[in-house]
């Protein structure tokens, strides 16, 4: 297809995922059953404008950690939930500090990367466990005393984009969500059976947050078709940016748009 034809196809494709019975209720019960306990340890970082910490979040006999940067000023601040890709580690402290300049506090899950082919063997990627980790960290972050509950946002790339969308679909506190090349979407369309309960295309109709989606049209790791299935089922305000000459990579153009979006919402 030409780029024009590809874009037209993507804007109309809703995927082949079938929503399981009681899907929303079961996942909402999963969220309600998460009761994370939190401990916090300071991280030495020579920036008088910010407080740097590491959270340990414990739930269901399991512990995960998250990086935290928040403004040093008293009072409450916007919260940005940040998630990294499946095959990469968390972004560095210096990268996260850019959000401090916007006045945001950032909580970034530190998850174990998975280097395999998630489409070939999704069971090995342990999506259900990773979903619960992300949701537990989000719930723990929302309870932090410096968080402004009216200004909660989520951001992620690749699988991190999927986790950011997951929080926006299941946690009504999330008001804006920016994602680049999210996965997993449209398992059935890619020939993978039995994954509808984990397919983000089925979560998408639950979302009421504003969503900014960026898609690299040469991406083979998070196929654009799967991203389209997610985007076209989203239930709230949304905007889609497509980058024809990019693969599964970070896009500076999108990062600029994302920063504008978090400050101003969807551009008219």
Give the tens place of pLDDT for each residue, 166-225: 999 999 999 999 999 999 999 999 999 999 999 999 999 999 999 999 999 999 999 999
List the one residue out of 82, 182, 93 whose CA is nearest residue 141. 82
pLDDT of residue 1: 81
Residues 6+ apart with CB under 8 A from 104: 71, 77, 78, 79, 80, 153, 262
pLDDT of residue 266: 77
Token pair belonging to 88: 């990469």
Confidence of residue 235 (pLDDT cuts 50, 70, 90): confident
Q: What does residue 28 show for φ and ψ, rounded to 5 degrees? A: -65, -35
List the one residue out of 138, 211, 153, 57 whose CA is nearest residue 200. 211
Confidence of residue 268 (pLDDT cuts 50, 70, 90): low
Confidence of residue 144 (pLDDT cuts 50, 70, 90): very high
User: What value does the mean pLDDT take over residues 251-266?
Assistant: 91
Q: Is 169 exposed, middle or buried (0-12, 13-18, 19+ CB in 10 A)?
A: buried
Q: What does residue 155 show for φ and ψ, rounded to 5 degrees? A: -145, 140
- Contact 240/267 with Cβ under 8 angstroms? no
Give the tens place of pLDDT for each residue, 74-125: 999 999 999 999 999 998 999 899 999 999 999 999 999 999 999 999 999 9
Token pair belonging to 87: 């095959």
Q: What does residue 19 show for φ and ψ, rounded to 5 degrees? A: -75, 120
Mean pLDDT of the chain: 95
What predicted TM-score, i.e. pTM, was given to this entire model?
A: 0.96
């Amino acid at each position: 297809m030409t780029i024009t034809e590809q874009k037209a196809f993507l804007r109309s494709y809703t995927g082949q995922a079938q929503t399981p019975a009681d899907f929303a209720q079961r996942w909402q019960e999963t969220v309600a059953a998460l009761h994370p306990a939190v401990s916090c340890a300071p991280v030495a970082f020579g920036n008088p404008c910010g407080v740097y910490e590491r959270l340990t979040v414990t739930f269901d006999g399991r512990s995960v950690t998250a990086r935290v940067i928040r403004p040093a000023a008293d009072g409450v601040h916007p919260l940005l939930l940040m998630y990294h890709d499946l095959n990469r580690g968390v972004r560095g402290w210096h990268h996260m500090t850019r959000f401090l300049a916007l006045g945001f506090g950032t909580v970034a899950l530190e998850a174990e990367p998975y280097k395999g082919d998630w489409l070939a063997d999704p069971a090995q990627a342990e999506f259900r466990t990773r979903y619960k980790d992300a949701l537990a960290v989000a719930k723990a972050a929302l309870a932090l005393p410096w968080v402004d509950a009216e200004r909660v946002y989520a951001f992620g790339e690749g699988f991190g984009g999927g986790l950011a969308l997951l929080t926006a679909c299941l946690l009504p506190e999330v008001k804006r969500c920016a994602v680049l090349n999210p996965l997993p979407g449209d398992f059935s369309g890619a020939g993978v059976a039995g994954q509808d309960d984990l397919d983000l295309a089925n979560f998408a109709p639950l979302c009421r947050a504003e969503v900014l989606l960026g898609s690299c049209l040469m991406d083979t790791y998070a196929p654009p078709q799967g991203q389209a299935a997610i985007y076209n089922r989203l239930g709230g305000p949304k905007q889609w940016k497509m980058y024809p000459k990019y693969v599964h990579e970070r896009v500076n153009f999108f990062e600029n748009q994302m920063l504008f979006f978090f400050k101003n919402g969807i551009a008219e």
